[in-house]
Amino acid sequence: MPEQLNARVEACYQQAEAFFQRRFPRPEISFRLRGQKAGVAHLDENLLRFNPQLYRENHDHFLLQTVAHEVAHLIAHQMFGPRIRPHGEEWQLIMRGIYGLPPDRCHTYEIKRRRSTRYLYRCHCGEGNEFPFSAQRHNLVAQGRRYYCRRCRATLVFTGETRRE
């Protein structure tokens, strides 16, 4: 899986080097990204992280668009400095002028959400005030953290019920 992606990153760098007539340090590449993001460029660390699930499910477009998108962030940072806007004109110049791609800010990949358990909490200000907590927030309550109703300011209390979403 990573061979094609690494080759695409290298091709993007070679295109940028030909355009700007200078050499760029190659980034570290990681496949440790989950959730909704397809890729992330860590500018100061010269690191690219990619979502392996979205790569598998959207292979061709991911290689073409997402990889170039993230590499363009690193190139723009190295060429124009840290004060530029993430999707500003410098980044757009690289996307259009070097890679010949539309400067799309966000991907449109379909994301399959995992089913998760919600822990139901209630307050004292009336029926129907149900607060579904994630497992992480529920665990924080178990460790002593308190959450309050915005309306009545009462501490939210676990009902003992859970729901799958």
Matching residue, tokens 């529920």: 138
At 65, phi and psi to the nearest 5?
Answer: -90, -55
User: How many other C-beta atoms are found inside a 10 Å radius of the C-beta of residue 91?
Assistant: 21
To the question of whether residue 73 is assigned a binding role by annotation, the answer is yes
Catalytic residue list contains 70: yes
Q: Which residues contact 44 (CB under 8 A, 6 or more apart)?
A: 82
* E strand residue ranges, 33-156: 39-42, 47-50, 117-122, 130-133
Active-site hit among 3, 10, 57, 70: 70
Which residues carry a binding-site annotation?
69, 73
Which residues carry a binding-site annotation for Zn(2+)?
69, 73
Catalytic residues: 70
